[in-house]
Every structure is written in structure tokens, then in C-alpha cells.
Amino acid sequence: MEATVGTRDEWLAARVELLEQEKELTRRSDALAKRRRELPWVRTVHIQFTRAATTAVLVIVALALAACGGGDTKDSEQTHQDQPSSTAPAAKQAGSTIDVPEGEYTLEATPASGKAGKLTFNVANDGAIDHEFVIIKTDRKAGDLLKGSEADESGAVDEIANIAPGKSVKLTVKLRPGHYALICNLPGHYRPGGKPGMSADFTVR
């Protein structure tokens, strides 16, 4: 649309004329609404039933919406637990779950030991960036695996490749007795700035 350029007086005159048209539109709209309200009412059982039904439908819809809303909240809250639910029964049978919170740049294992057999690692990324989780069977200390800029992963048993921030992922593995290193080996996470980072020792008896 092309705009025309005029004086302030011209603008004012045009604006006043437009305003009058707008007012007229409002008046006509009001009149129309009044006529709609004045439509004859038909008092029959059918109408009353319809109203009751409408009310009922509205109530049902409202309840359904409320239920959905609640459901959504629950879903998001339970994502952590629900996601790996398939491994939950196995975890119960094994009777041993190790909590592994991860952050920048920390990794802990609680408890730091477990019984040989099936063990479930519940790895929670409490940080703000992606992390991973690698289980390595090694006699070396978890913090002594540096090879170049990363940890040497020889002896790796299993891993969770990627855990998004705020997510938890469970990993159930069968472990034999021995010493294990639990690490995140994403670039720079194992020993950030040459300092101890995302590694923890774990013992299976």
C-alpha cells in the first residue's frame, strides 16, 4: 500500500472523517447485537434440554482440559522415571541401583560399589550441556586414564552415548567383580583444564 503525504490539517480532516465512519460502524454493530438479543425466545422442553446438555458438555470439556493439563505436568515430572521404566523391574530384581549425577564437570557414583551381577546405573544430567556415561573395566584409577586429550577407553563395557541436560537415563549391565572407571569422555569433560573432572571409581564385589 502506498502512503500519501499531506499537511497536518489534511491529516486531521481525514482522521475526523474516518473516526465518524468508525463510530457509525460501532453504532451499527451495537444495533445488530440488540436485534440479535431481541430475537424471540422459544420456551420448549427441547431448548431447556439443549441448554442443560450444553452446560454438561462444557463441564465435561473443562474437566477433560483440566485432566489433560494435570497429565502434562505429571508427564514432564515423571519423564525421568518413566523413560527407562523397561529396565526398572530388572533393577528391582538385581536390587541395586547406583545414582550417577553428572554436571559441569563432575560425575559421582552413589554408592561407589555394588554386588556382581546386574547393576543399574541411573545417570542424571543435572548440568546445562550434554554429557555421556562410559563404564570401563580397568585396574587403573578412574582419574588416571588420560591418553592425549581424552581418557583411554580400552576395557569399555557399556555406555550411554548422549544424555541431554535435565534428562535421566538408566543403564543396566551385568558386571563381574573388579574395579571400574565411570567417566564422561566428551571432549574436555574428562579432565577440564587438566584438572580432575568427570570420573568416578566403582568397585564390584
Q: Nearest approach, Cβ of 94 to Cu ion (angstroms)?
A: 26
Closest by CA to 85, choosing from 172, 157, 182, is 172
Of residues 130-169, which lie at the interface with Cu ion (CB under 5 A)?
131
Query: Does residue 138 contact residue 176 with C-beta atoms inside 8 Å?
Result: no
**117-125 β-sheet, strand order:** 106-107, 97-103, 117-125, 168-175
For Cu ion, how many residues bind (rule: CB under 5 A)?
Answer: 5
Query: Does residue 129 contact residue 154 with C-beta atoms inside 8 Å?
Result: no
Largest CA distance in the chain: 93
Strand partners, 188: none
| 186: contact with Cu ion by CB under 5 A | yes
The contact mask relative to Cu ion for 108-137 (x = CB under 5 A, - = no) is: -----------------------x------
| 189: contact with Cu ion by CB under 5 A | yes
Residue closer to Cu ion, measured from CB, 131 or 170: 131
Residue closer to Cu ion, measured from CB, 170 or 189: 189
Closest by CA to 170, choosing from 108, 124, 104, 101, is 124
Determine which residue in the list 100, 136, 142, 184 makes contact with Cu ion, applying CB under 5 A: 184
Cβ-Cβ contacts under 8 Å for 96 (sequence gap 6 or more): 114, 115, 117, 118, 119, 120
Q: Nearest approach, Cβ of 107 to Cu ion (angstroms)?
A: 7
Residue closer to Cu ion, measured from CB, 98 or 151: 151
Q: Nearest approach, Cβ of 163 to Cu ion (angstroms)?
A: 9
CA distance 201 to 204: 10
| 191: contact with Cu ion by CB under 5 A | no
Q: Nearest approach, Cβ of 183 to Cu ion (angstroms)?
A: 9
Binding site for Cu ion (CB under 5 A): 131, 184, 186, 189, 198
